[in-house]
Amino acid sequence: MTTTVLLTCLLIIVARIGDVSLGTVRAIMTIQGRRMIALSVGVFELLIWVFVVSHVIQDLRAEPIYGVAYALGFALGTFVGMTIEAKLALGRQVVRIMTRQGDEMAPALRAAGWWSRCSTGSGATGRCRSCSSRSSGGRRGR
């Protein structure tokens, strides 16, 4: 394997990490209704993808390792995209809990790193507490 092939493999991997990571951010922007950001990110995502795919397909017979680099870049891009999303906290995890033990549950959720807000309500079986929780800060709830 020549230096040119190795450098091309590295370029394919880096480009795929970039376009898959951008795809993750674009999907989140789309879900949040940020149309112009999603549109802009999508243009760059697809520009990278088109150039990489065309290069890989063109030279795949001569250098099958390009297909491996393409797949590795996709897998790493998924991981990097998820890491970027976690660091930027673009998405949120929200849990809604309906319980009669809200007064006991809220402090436990807060101690575990979750933001928690409780309110009183009534249901078919009587009075209950509704707790809304989401992860706080850089920690992600499970």
The C-alpha atoms of residue 11 and residue 51 are separated, in whole angstroms, by 11
The C-alpha atoms of residue 49 and residue 106 are separated, in whole angstroms, by 46
What mean pLDDT comes out for the span 13-25? 95
Check whether 141 has a pLDDT greater than 60: no
**At which residue do the structure tokens 């590295």 appear?**
10
Task: Kindly report the number of other CB atoms within 10 A of residue 90's CB atom.
Answer: 16
pTM to 2 decimals? Answer: 0.66
In this structure, are residues 131 and 99 in contact, taking their beta carbons and an 8 Å threshold?
A: yes
42, two tokens: 């999508």
Let me know how many helices (H) and strands (E) the chain has, helices first: 4, 3
Q: List, for residues 84-122, the tens digit of each pLDDT value.
A: 887 877 666 667 777 777 778 778 888 888 777 777 777
